[in-house]
Structure 1
Amino acid sequence: MTKALPERTLLPEHPDQLAEVRAFLDTRFGRSESATLASPDGELITLPAELLAGLRLVAIALAEGKAVTVAPLHTTLTTQEAAELLGMSRPTFVKLLDDGAIPYTRPGRHRRVRLADVLAYREYRRAERTLGLAELTKISEDLGLYDVDNYDENPGRQS
């Protein structure tokens, strides 16, 4: 059995240093695929791209004064874990599974979903929302709802 890694919440305690690290990572490793980490005794190791990307995300959030929680996610999730990741209730998520929106397995009594499938569904929904908003904006423009003449900058102001 695999030992679960602990969850760790990081709080921004050194804003000046964090801003410096963020700037360094942005300028030196903008889209780089790897970086090298040096130990105090000079030993070097190359960081893989996914670790560097995670480090950049943590540095950005902490530099902005946000707390960051680092927790491992298994490649397979329970329905509760997947629902939380998508920001919905477990019954709503189970309905998505029943409707065939996301593939799942049932190794025993409980369903399991692949993290990759949940993330793909989340991206699909984001793209769908973006298209819907673009369509709604076009309809509003066609109806003249975005005309500058119809917009009063100070609706509460009395003339």
Structure 2
Amino acid sequence: MTGIHREARRKGTVLPPEDLRELLDLSVFLEQHDEPAALLGPDGQQIPLPVEVYEVLVQVVDAMRKRRAVTIAPVEQCLTTQQAADLLGISRPTLIKLLEKGELPCEKPSGSRHRRLLLSDVLDYQERRRAERTDVLDDLVRDAEGDGLYDPPVDAYLQAVEEARAARTAEG
């Protein structure tokens, strides 16, 4: 096991295997079955996987197949500001600004200057931002449709095509 793999595993992250063949076989198997499977122990004992566990397995295999590392953590887990920023795909200074504005709750353990965030709060914030972006995009599309921006006049379209063809002919 390489130093990188040991360090990642120590932090609760599992890196995809170097050789993806077995993982790809598992991925194909999971794609062909939409019902939870059973877990088979080394002694031959079988136990059905709960739907929730099966869904996590499908997501883990899909991520690892794409050569992505996977971390599974309980929702009540606390994150450092850097971990939360990484999860949100923003810089740590940007996250600190969000904390200072009160857009995201955090805790400071007594006697510490470091902030900790609940994973559940970070995931809630991420979902709120996703919903806000979707609403804004929906409004923009509605406005564009209302303004007729998706329906250019046919003659303007034909003229643009002719100009593009003339420009291409002049170039070559």
CA deviations 1:87-109 (Å, max 9, x no partner) are 00101101111111111110021
- Is the counterpart of residue 24 in structure 1 residue 32 in structure 2? yes
Query: Could you say if the C-alpha distance between residues 77 and 61 of structure 1 is closer, same or farther in structure 2, counting changes exceeding 3 Å?
Result: closer
Residue number in structure 2 paired with 1:144: 148
Amino acid aligned to 1:58: V
The TM-score with structure 2 as length reference comes to 0.72
Query: Could you say if the C-alpha distance between residues 68 and 16 of structure 1 is closer, same or farther in structure 2, counting changes exceeding 3 Å?
Result: closer
Match of 1:127 among 112, 120, 131: 131
Give the aligned CA root-mean-square deviation in angstroms: 2.8
Match of 1:51 among 50, 53, 58: 53
Query: Could you say if the C-alpha distance between residues 121 and 55 of structure 1 is closer, same or farther in structure 2, counting changes exceeding 3 Å?
Result: same
- Is the counterpart of residue 93 in structure 1 residue 95 in structure 2? yes
Identity of aligned residues (%): 40
Question: Unaligned stretches of 5+ in structure 2?
Answer: 1-8
Q: Which has the higher contact order (CA 8 A, sep 6+)?
A: 1
Question: What is the CA–CA distance in structure 2 between the aligned matches of 1:46 and 1:96, rounded to whole Å?
Answer: 43
**1:72 Cα deviation after fit:** 4.0
Larger radius of gyration: 2
SS in 2 for 1:10: coil
Amino acid aligned to 1:142: G
Task: Please state which structure has a larger fraction of its residues in helix.
Answer: 2
Match of 1:9 among 15, 18, 23: 15
Question: Unaligned stretches of 5+ in structure 1?
Answer: 30-34
Match of 1:112 among 113, 116, 135: 116
The TM-score with structure 1 as length reference comes to 0.77
Q: Is the Cα contact below 8 Å between 1:58 and 1:68 reproduced in 2? A: no
**1:7 Cα deviation after fit:** 2.7
Q: How many matched pairs?
A: 149
Amino acid aligned to 2:147: L
**1:57 Cα deviation after fit:** 1.2
- Is the counterpart of residue 103 in structure 1 residue 105 in structure 2? yes
SS in 2 for 1:104: coil
